[in-house]
Amino acid sequence: MSTQKFSRRQFLLIGGSGVAVAALAACQPQAQPTTAPAKAEPTKAAAVGPTQPPAPKKQPDVDFFAWGDPVDVPAWNKVAEMYTQKTGNKANVTIGATGDFYTKLQTMVAGGTPPHLSSFQGWEWQVFADKNVLVPVDDQVKAAKLEDIFIDAPGDIAYTQRKGKKYLLPIEHPTMLMFYAKKPFQDAGLPFPKDDWTFEQFLEAAQKLTKTVDGKKQFGYQANGIWARDIHWMRNSGKQEFDNLIDPKKSMFAQPELAEIIQIVASDVYYKMKISPTPADLEGGANTIDTGNCAMKYEGPWYFTRLNNPQLRDQKKAVEFDVVIMPKYKDASRPHRCLTSGVAVLRTDKVDATWAFASYLVSYEGNKAYSEISGRLPNNPKGAEQDWVPRIKELHGVANGRAFIDAFKTSVVDVVGGVPRSKIWNEAAKPLGWDPLTLGTGKAVDVLPKVDTKVQELLDAYWATQPKS
Amino acid sequence: MTAITQRRRDSLRRYFSGLALEETLSGFLFATPFVVGFSVFIAYPMIYSIVLVFQNWDLLTPPVFVGLNNITKVFRDPVANLSLYNTAFYTFLAVPVQLGISFLLAMALNQPIKGRSFYRAGFYMPMIVPVVASAVVWQRVFHPEFGLMNEVIGWFGMEPRKWLWDPALAKPAFIFMSFWMIGRQMVIFIAGLQNIPQSLVEAASIDGAGRLHQLRHIIIPLMTPIIFYNMVMAIIASFQIFAPAMLMTNGGPQNATLFAVLNIYRNAFEYYNMGYASALAWELFVIVVGFTVTQFYVSRRWVYYETG
Amino acid sequence: MNIAAKSFRPMRTAFRRPSWVRIREVAMLVALQIFMTLLVISFLVPTIWMVLSSFKASTELFVHPIKWLPDEWLWGNYVRAATVFPVGFQRFALNTLIITSAATLGTVLSSVVVAYSFARLRWPGREFFFGLLLATVMLPEVVTLVPRFIMFRNFKWVGTFLPLTAPFWFGTATFYVFLIRQFLRGIPMELEDAARIDGASRLRTLWQILMPLSKPVLATVAVFSALQHYNDFMGPLIYLNRMDTWTMALAVRSYNSQYAAQWEMIFAVSTMMLIPMVLLFIVAQRYFVRGITMTGFGGQ
């Protein structure tokens, strides 16, 4: 009957579309690199002349889970594109948002679908190495002669090696310095900060630069308000908040020198001296060094592009700025934090292919392209001193670029070990320490002992799972 | 004896003999998706999560048997207890007020005013806004310096507050936010009010009962089943608040908005402590079920069901 | 719960009252009308402000007193917001569309099949399983969160769309199954019997006779299910890691944390996510109301 045929067609139609949708839903979403497809196949075939290097081996595609800072994203894509053009192999760049980068990475690894290569900051990868998720790369580094990307300074060693083995391939060795916007200083008739300035001079300048002009608020200092960025001040007080910065066993936040400096930089700058916009204000984004409302900020090279680049200069929205090493406080050697970050190879079935891409990424050529786009400090001495310093002067107006390289010589690490810095922050330092401090509801001398108790708990819990040495 | 077994055999035979067999088999067949789905996605995970409670597992290294450690930790951990307190605080302050507001709105929409469909739609609208979008909006409303909230309380002469940045005010802010989402309860109350026979109300009016008297002695008693239903559903939902806390304050400030489900999520997917997270989840489950069952028992006292 | 959705009528009393009482009643109604208008505006205002702000320049967002209309309607904000991510916003929209359609289709089809079994067919254990179905209402989603993740990890489904779509093809959604069951019970048996006599199989009866009759309730289920999956946050948060698999919900959240200073873009993205659901709501409003009224469930 006609109705029978119709119903069967209907059934097939709906069933078919259901299957189609299910199939769409089930198919593994392909990582979409925004790079151009490989046009490199012809170049391999066109290898002519004895000086041509041997055609590179054809490797399977690798997945690179890349740090998603806006300045980095185009850089990753460019290097991946260059890699494909050079070797014909493909690296799929998938961006991880910075907010919960490590959570997502851990989910991917725990979920059975890890990337082959991942970005890491120097203090976050140790946990993964301990759990055997990462591959040590000493042999490969030696074979590829890439030793010069490692710097022989305590900070760098701690951030790239663990238990004598290299894991992290650095792509930058930045330090953080004091950025200052020139205009507020000029308007107030104050001289620019100099290398030999002191902490008291810094506070004084910040206070002089804090005023209200034409109803718009000006601040002398844009405080960061998080433990990581206050570490610099803490170390410069001559004390450190752990017994050992590598695999610490004891938490020592509540020392008088630390309490004193933390009180100033994490609380008083907002509420007592009022030289910085409050955290709530900063969250709104109206009063920052970017908008010209703050005179100074403790930042790193990744911040250059935000303040001053050719496009912004064309639109007359650029902020003229320069950098200076941090003011002298109690520690005469003036330690600065170094923040080596890079990539690490995960233990998958594609380690060789991954190494091929990773080694290109950190090689002089790849790193040069990366650094040019992202503005980050290159990982090798030649690139840093010969390429980067003049370039940042030209592109961003930074005359004192050498300060970054020099500061690295006295670099210290934040803390590395089996308990990652993020865990200490999220579970202890932030809720018990920095939240009340930055909100103005607690004093350092009161909250730091509580931070100690909780951090000690985390450390003890970690050491309880380790084999007794 | 034999009579009973004979009856039982008869009742089973009812299903399996002759024509009824086809119906029984069809019944099984059509219900198979549910049986399979329930077993695979609900029953098996629940049983497995009990197994997890006795282990510490981070999914990267092999699981470690820890006995009752996770269970004792659940009771001793100050953060876990704080999360329960936060959840209870939120639920037991928010739900009664929500019910009150939605009931009053339903009564108001039951009056002969114009544009009632429009009002009903307007009150229901916030429920279709994605939670990520409403989080963004409310962050702006509660902004300490430029927020709508401080502006409005300024009209009444009150000082601006820090709201989401103040540990004491963060939960009240969330409670206030929940009043925006009373659309569902209101619609149910409206339907319930419509079901009240006009004759009862008219009879009371004729007898001289004022509005208030009508409310207390006719409308509310007849609505008690619906009030009860809304209350149970609202409590179950409020116990599970997660997304706003994660998006707006991430549990802060100082863990003031660390609610139970957020704590479980963190332990599972940020700290990768699967065993402890499972223990916390079971604790929450027992509490929710316990509360619901208690409510059902207590309801016998105050819920008035019409005959049948 | 068997509240049928009656038409939305107000309550009136039929007999006459003295004129002063009537005037007072009218005055109260007018006052109520005004109050309700203000109240409903206050419910809609935050969302409207967000939509208007998405067109503003960032300097107009944080000012005293609050600015409502933008000086200049910056459509460019939308263009920027859609392209600033390395993965274009259209990708997020596509992912959301795929997941929502697959899950909704699965919900509707499987709920109908299961509801039919509970409504019409007699089989041993039916009451038991129906009781199980109702009991799952009390189950907080979080209890099965961890073991399901581990299970999906063993299936190698983490990072794909499958954990967000496959479980909904099994008819375990309490409210939808319940709703359809109640509805099916209201359909006279004669229709089915006639079909059986004509030789139709169970499936065909369901397909050709019952389902067309159930279009209203199926529409309700589809609308609610679509809303639920579209707005789902926790599921994508856990299972979708690579940015090119994200749904719009995750993208909006990421804007909120990464581009914290650029609220006008965050608002633009939120508005883009909101619009489809608002359209759906306007078009299908009565299904929303019916769904809530008949099941007690609706929304987040």
Tell whether C254 is covered by a domain.
yes
Q: C220 and C115 share a domain?
A: yes
User: What CATH number corresponds to the domain at position C173?
Assistant: 1.10.3720.10
Please check whether residues B125 and B251 belong to one and the same domain. Answer: yes
**Which of the residues B76, B270, B271, B276 would you substitute to probe the A interface, choosing the one with the greatest number of A C-beta atoms within 10 Å?**
B270
For chain A, the average pLDDT equals: 82
Residue A282's nearest CA partner among A365, A233, A217 is A217
Structural domain contains residue B61: no
Number of domain units in chain B: 2
In angstroms, rounded to a whole number, what is the distance separating the alpha carbons of residues A42 and B159? Answer: 71
Are residues C169 and A22, on separate chains, in Cβ contact within 8 Å? yes
User: Is B19 among the domain residues?
Assistant: yes
* pLDDT confidence of residue C13: 56
Q: Which of C16, C45, C76 is the last residue of a domain?
A: C76
- The alpha-carbon gap from B256 to the nearest alpha carbon of chain A, in Å, equals 9
pLDDT at A39: 36
pLDDT confidence of residue C295: 61
What pLDDT score was predicted for residue B273? 87
**Whether residues C228 and C252 fall in one domain:** yes
Lowest mean pLDDT among A375-384, C20-29, C81-90: C81-90
Specify whether the CB–CB gap between B116 and B110 falls below 8 A: no
Cβ proximity of C274 and C292 under 8 Å: no
Which class for B259: exposed (0-12), middle (13-18), buried (19 or more C-beta within 10 A)?
buried
Residue B114 and residue B19 share a domain: no
Q: Model confidence over A277-316: pLDDT tens digits?
A: 888 777 766 678 888 888 999 988 888 878 888 888 888 8
Which residue does chain B place closest to C64, by CA atoms? Answer: B146
pLDDT of the residue at B86: 95
Say whether both C122 and C218 belong to one domain: yes
Asked if residues C98 and A25 have their Cβ atoms less than 8 Å apart, the reply is yes
Which element (helix H / strand E) includes A219? strand A216-222
| Facing A110 at nearest CB: one of B60, B143, B252 | B60
DSSP state at residue A268: I
Residue A104 near chain C (CB below 8 Å)? yes
**What pLDDT digit, counting tens, does each position of C258-296 carry?**
655 677 888 888 899 999 988 888 888 777 777 667 665
Is the pLDDT reported for residue A74 higher than 90?
Answer: no
CB contact under 8 A, C292 and B137: no
CB-CB neighbours of C258 under 10 Å: 18
User: What is the per-residue pLDDT for B208?
Assistant: 73
Q: Give the burial class of A217: count Cβ atoms within 10 A of its Cβ; 0-12 exposed, 13-18 middle, 19 or more buried.
A: middle
Q: Residue A2: pLDDT above 70? A: no
Higher-pLDDT residue of A245 and C195 is A245
Same domain, C129 and C223: yes
Same domain for C110 and C216, yes or no, is: yes
Looking at the structure, tell me whether residues B128 and B210 fall in a common domain. Answer: yes
In angstroms, the Cα distances linking A283 to A66, A227, A276, B97 are 26, 17, 13, 31
B138 found inside a domain: yes
Antiparallel, parallel or unpaired: β A294-299 and A216-222? parallel
Sign of CA dihedral A353, A354, A356, A360: positive
Residues linked to residue A411 through DSSP beta bridges, in sequence order: A336
Global confidence as pTM: 0.82
DSSP A377: P
Confidence grade of residue A50 (pLDDT, cut at 50, 70, 90):
very low
Q: Indicate whether A244 pLDDT > 80.
A: yes
pLDDT at A30 over 50: no
**A95–C87: do the CB atoms touch at under 8 Å?**
yes
| Residue B58 within any structural domain of the chain | no
Strand partners, A311: none
Could you tell me the domains of chain A?
8-175+338-412 (3.40.190.10), 177-334 (3.40.190.10)
Check: CB of residue C255 under 8 Å from CB of residue A97.
Answer: no
Q: What is the pLDDT of residue B148?
A: 82
The answer to whether position B280 is within a domain reads yes
Q: What average pLDDT does range B207-233 have in this prediction?
A: 81
Same domain? B9 vs B149: no
Return the pLDDT at C211.
Answer: 82
B36 and B177 share a domain?
no
* B14 lies in the same domain as B143: no
Does A431 contact B at CB distance below 8 Å? yes
Task: Assess whether C141 and C37 both reside in one domain.
Answer: no
Q: How many CB atoms lie within 10 A of CB B99?
A: 17
Residue B184 pLDDT exceeds 90: no
User: Do B27 and B256 form a contact (C-beta atoms < 8 A)?
Assistant: no
The domain of C68 spans 2-76
Question: B86 and B21: one domain?
Answer: no
CATH code: domain of residue B233: 1.10.3720.10
Domain count within chain C:
2
Q: Are residues B119 and B229 in the same domain?
A: yes
> Which string of b and e fits C150-186 if b means at least 16 CB within 10 Å?
bbbbeeebbbbbbbbbbbbbbbbbbbbbbbbbbbbee
Q: Say what the alpha-carbon torsion angle A67, A68, A70, A71 is, to the nearest 10 degrees.
A: 10
Shared domain for B186 and B276, answered yes or no, is: yes
Both B129 and B249 in one domain: the answer is yes
In a domain, B169, yes or no: yes
C71 plus C156 within the same structural domain: no
- Residue C66: both structure tokens together: 């609050």
> With bands split at pLDDT 50, 70 and 90, how would you rate the model's confidence at A103?
confident
Q: Residues B8, B137: one domain?
A: no
Same domain as C108, residue C157: yes
Answer yes or no: do B252 and A281 touch at CB < 8 A: no
User: What is the rounded distance in angstroms from the CA atom of residue C273 to the CA atom of residue A328?
Assistant: 50
Which one of B134-143, C8-17, C228-237 scores highest in mean pLDDT?
C228-237
Over residues B281-308, mean pLDDT? 84
Instruction: Identify the pLDDT of residue C167.
Output: 93
What is the reported pLDDT for A312?
A: 83
pLDDT in tens, A387-440: 888 888 888 888 888 888 888 888 888 888 888 888 888 888 988 899 889 888
* Contact by Cβ (8 Å): C229, C13: no
Who's near C222: CB < 8 A, 6+ residues apart?
C104, C107, C108
Q: How far apart are CA C146 and CA B273, in angstroms?
A: 10
Q: How many residues does chain B have?
A: 308
d(C-alpha A26, C-alpha A166), whole Å? 39
Return the residue in B35, B53, B129 with the most chain C beta carbons within 10 A, the one to mutate for interface testing: B129
Task: Please indicate whether residue B164 or residue A1 has the higher confidence score (pLDDT).
Answer: B164
Picking from C32, C52, C76, the residue at the C-terminal end of a domain is C76
The answer to the question of residue B155 being in a domain is yes
Task: Please check whether residue A209 is in contact with residue A220, taking contact to mean a CB–CB distance below 8 angstroms.
Answer: yes
| Statement to judge: residues C125 and C271 lie in one domain | yes
C154 domain residue, yes or no: yes
Looking at the structure, do residues C92 and C161 belong to the same domain, yes or no? yes
pLDDT in tens, B16-73: 777 778 888 888 888 899 999 999 999 999 999 999 999 988 888 888 898 898 999 9
CA distance B168 to chain C (A): 24
* DSSP 8-state symbol, A380: S
Residues 6+ apart with CB under 8 A from B77: none
The whole-number pLDDT of residue A281 equals 77
Query: How far apart are the C-alpha atoms of B109 and B223, rounded to whole Å?
Result: 16
**Helix (H) or strand (E) segment spanning residue B206:** helix B198-206
Q: Which is it for strands A62-67 and A91-96: parallel, antiparallel or unpaired? A: parallel
Summary mean pLDDT of chain B: 86
Which residue matches tokens 């400090």?
Answer: A377
User: pLDDT tens-digit profile of B260-284?
Assistant: 999 999 988 888 889 999 999 999 9
Separation between Cα atoms, residue A430 and residue B255, nearest integer Å: 10
Per-residue model confidence as pLDDT tens digits over C32-67: 888 989 999 988 888 888 888 888 877 777 776 677
The confidence score (pLDDT) of residue B166 equals 85
Total count of residues recorded for chain C: 300
Q: Of the candidates C41, C58, C76, which is a domain's last residue?
A: C76
* Residue A25 pLDDT grade (very low, low, confident, very high; cuts 50, 70, 90): very low
The tens digit of pLDDT for each residue in A322-348 reads 999 899 888 888 888 888 899 999 999
| Sheet of A91-96, strand order | A91-96, A62-67, A117-121, A341-345, A168-172
Domain that holds residue B27: 2-53
Each residue's pLDDT tens digit, C130-150: 888 888 888 888 889 889 999
Residue of B nearest to C62 (CA): B146
User: Do C91 and C222 share a domain, yes or no?
Assistant: yes
Say whether both B14 and B97 belong to one domain: no
Please write the tens of the pLDDT for every residue from C73-91: 888 888 888 877 777 888 9
DSSP state for residue B212 in the 8-state scheme: H
**Domain membership flag for residue B215:** yes
**Considering CB atoms only, which of A11, A26, A29 is closest to C245?**
A29
Pick the closest to residue C169 from C109, C224, C230 (CA basis).
Answer: C109
B247 with C46: Cβ contact below 8 A = no
A55 pLDDT band, cuts 50/70/90, is low
Residues C250 and C233: their CA atoms lie apart, in Å, by 7
The β-bridge relationship of strands A91-96 and A341-345 is unpaired
C81 inside domain: no
Q: Which residues of A135-151 are buried (b: 16+ CB within 10 A; e: fewer)?
A: bbbeebbeebebeebbb
